[in-house]
Structure 1
Amino acid sequence: MPEAPRFSARTIGIGAAVVTVGVWTAFIVIARASAGRSLAPFDIAFARICGAALVLLPWGAWLVTRARAEGSAADSFFGLSPLPLRLTALAGVFGGLAYALLAYTGFFFAPASHAAVLMPGSLPLWTTLLAALVLRDRITPLRALGLALIVLGDLFVGGASLLHALDGGAVWKGDLLFMGAAFSWACYSIVVRRHGLEAVRATIAITVFAFVTFVPAYALLAAAGLVTSRLASAPAGEILFQMLFQGVGSVVISGIAFTRMIQYFGPVRSTMITALVPGLSALGAVAFLGEPLYWNLVAGVLLVTAGILFGVQRSGAAGGRPVAAVAVAGTPGGRIDG
């Protein structure tokens, strides 16, 4: 039998980076495209959670079984989550439910080009501020400059829609929802950092929490007609696609790829690589969705990208891992290397 090909660490690292950036970019474009099709926003979240659960729930049960056999189990949710109940619920609320529900709802109001800037852009902003408040991390002058550029870029993109909020437009709602989604993921980032959670176990835990709490409740409410759902009328192929891409692709595959990228490139260089996401997502929205490329969008993309790059630079006085590196790790489907 011929031996299976073995790839070098460099090849695996570069491949993981390509997969990570590709999935994160596609997440924004596909989520916006999905808003014009058959499913409601909570339906897409439902499909995302179910798709990820197909892979991660058996994985979690295996980890718990192994830990119990070794006498080191600290599990919850019927032996599916490898984390204690409190941590599973805390991480699951922010990383499993709030992020998905806010993000997918936002795509029904605002274009993908706005999400391309406001979600990955405001993520390091929120995480840095929360880390300074909760973890007592110091905001260095260089990082402060990066945050200022991010805020300016966000204002270039979302400021106009907020100014027209009283004119009857709805784009500002999506912009605020994107910012809220980034804030939710930033909260999850802080939970991961504060408790030193391992990436795979945290990903399994938030999926278990969302599956056990949201999926049955939403299914019952939808069946009773108490919430707006199109699951019953949507084509089976579309539901299956959302389960595979949003669940298996955005949660599982990009999570593994991001972790491998961190292992090879480190958190700082990895964050610099993921700074490609705002620009690529905006260009993808123009190319595949026909969204206009206004000057303020271009300016916002450039400012946010520059802000992320400034934010991950190490300064002589700063020690430890940069906050922004941890923040961007949680962009759309990626996981945190805790």
Structure 2
Amino acid sequence: MTLEDRPLASIKSLLAWPGAPLAITSAALFGASTPLAKALLGGGVSPWLLAGLLYLGSGLGLAVLHYGRRLVRRPSSEAPLARGDWGRMALVVLSGGIAGPVLLMLGLSTTPAASAALLLNLEGLATMVIAWLAFRENVDRRLLLGAAAILAGALLLSWHGRSQFGGFGFGSVLIAGACLAWGIDNNLTRGVSASDPVQIAMVKGLAAGAVNLTLAIVGGARFPTGLLLAGAGVVGFLGYGVSLVLFVLALRFLGTARTGAYFSTAPFIGALLAVAMFGEPVTWRLIAAALLMAGGLYLHLVERHEHEHIHEPLEHEHPHVHDEHHQHTHAAGEPPAEPHTHRHTHTRLAHSHAHFPDLHHRHDHAHPP
């Protein structure tokens, strides 16, 4: 059977729809934020203060969206964060909202923007390894080979010959630390991805922004001028806020490891903008690293995963339609129109189809697929 003969559902499954477009758009917004943040640092903004302003811009912008919907009587159809989610959200803020951006801003202050942008591929690698080892998410040989290519590109890019850090620039070490923090953050966020993504990103932005901003001011940082302040707000809202909303949505459809793999397109966008904005040279090392990373990303994109699997009974709440995974009756008062959101129960189901580790396919694999 040719691709043209496949049912639309099979084509969408093959293309990881809609997870891949969501993750790649998220990556584009975040990738663009890296050289733009580099430009803001050039205006004399403290790295720590800038980290706070970026997340605060994200949180405030999303707060306007979140509460503005209520004012115009168009409430979100998403499920709000539950009481049991707040402990995990605190860890998300600590790792991804405080440690990650501060390490990135400090690394950017001593690293060329194009190199820094490509080094951010390590976030996807860290995300996948943690998802595989700590959360038992399925990762096949193709994904592992792709990850190895991405790592090789990152190592090539960050090598600066002999130095006190064994050949790697200190800025590269800091950026690698930021990627590890975000890898932890991404895996923790997976656990709350069924909830309202705008609320998740808003809480993270407001909390992380407030903490980083306070620490920077206590440390003696000075507020930037109005133009730089506005620029940081816009970059934070789009590159951190909207990007995170799309990332959380992608987690629902792809799981953590694969969303991280698609997100690895971010550094390519950032590197292209850095070359255009700062006139940085296109060196052989930059080209070779980009080719290695592109090859690794390609292996991630062409993956297809299909086997007989079992859905164990599950109860949760998220927007859904009544597809083959959502065959349940409605109690009185529950919304009839689709998609809709209410707490529902999945009964045990065994079948076979192409899938990813989304909200409903987080099963163990006894043998490599």
Using the size of structure 1 for normalisation, the TM-score is 0.71
The RMSD of aligned alpha carbons is 4.0
Supply the distance in 2 between the matched residues of 1:73 and 1:261 (Cα, whole angstroms).
18
Q: How does 1:11-160 map to 2 (within 5 A)?
A: 20=26, 22-57=28-63, 74=82, 84-119=85-120, 121-158=121-158, 160=159
Deviations 1:116-158 (A, max 9, x none): 2111x11221112111221112331111111110111111101
Supply the distance in 1 between the matched residues of 2:356 and 2:250 (Cα, whole angstroms).
16
Q: CA deviation at 1:260?
A: 7.4
Q: 2:273 matched to 1:284?
A: yes
1:174 aligned residue: 171
Contact 1:51 1:244 in 2 (8 A): yes
Contact 1:124 1:308 in 2 (8 A): no
- Which runs of 5 or more structure 1 residues have no equivalent in the other structure? 1-11, 76-82, 222-226, 324-338
Q: 2:189 matched to 1:210?
A: no
1:230 aligned residue: 222
Q: CA deviation at 1:187?
A: 0.5
Query: Secondary structure of the equivalent of 1:142?
Result: helix
Q: CA deviation at 1:284?
A: 2.1
**Change in CA separation of 1:39 and 1:127 when aligned onto 2, cut-off 3 Å:** same
Contact 1:88 1:209 in 2 (8 A): no
Select between 27-36 and 192-201 the one with higher mean Cα deviation. Answer: 192-201
Q: CA deviation at 1:24?
A: 2.8
Q: CA deviation at 1:275?
A: 5.2
Q: CA deviation at 1:307?
A: 0.9
Supply the distance in 2 between the matched residues of 1:107 and 1:295 (Cα, whole angstroms).
21
Contact 1:275 1:309 in 2 (8 A): no
Q: 2:251 matched to 1:251?
A: no
Contact 1:135 1:194 in 2 (8 A): no
Structure having the larger proportion of residues in strand:
2
Supply the distance in 2 between the matched residues of 1:286 and 1:182 (Cα, whole angstroms).
22
Supply the distance in 2 between the matched residues of 1:183 and 1:100 (Cα, whole angstroms).
11
**Change in CA separation of 1:116 and 1:16 when aligned onto 2, cut-off 3 Å:** same
Q: CA deviation at 1:174?
A: 1.4
- Which runs of 5 or more structure 2 residues have no equivalent in the other structure? 1-17, 309-353, 359-369
Query: Secondary structure of the equivalent of 1:165?
Result: coil
Query: Secondary structure of the equivalent of 2:103?
Result: helix
How many residues align? The count is 288
Contact 2:186 2:256 in 1 (8 A): no
Q: CA deviation at 1:205?
A: 2.5
1:184 aligned residue: 181
Query: Secondary structure of the equivalent of 1:53?
Result: helix
Contact 1:106 1:177 in 2 (8 A): yes
Contact 2:255 2:356 in 1 (8 A): no
1:314 aligned residue: 304
Q: CA deviation at 1:209?
A: 2.4
Deviations 1:156-196 (A, max 9, x none): 101x22x3323999x71111121111111111111122344
**Change in CA separation of 1:57 and 1:267 when aligned onto 2, cut-off 3 Å:** same
Q: CA deviation at 1:257?
A: 5.4
The aligned amino acid for 1:285 is A
Of structures 1 and 2, the larger Rg is shown by 2
Structure having the larger proportion of residues in helix:
1
Supply the distance in 2 between the matched residues of 1:195 and 1:28 (Cα, whole angstroms).
26
Contact 2:100 2:178 in 1 (8 A): yes
Q: CA deviation at 1:245?
A: 1.8
Identity %: 24
The aligned amino acid for 1:245 is V
Supply the distance in 1 between the matched residues of 2:239 and 2:192 (Cα, whole angstroms).
24
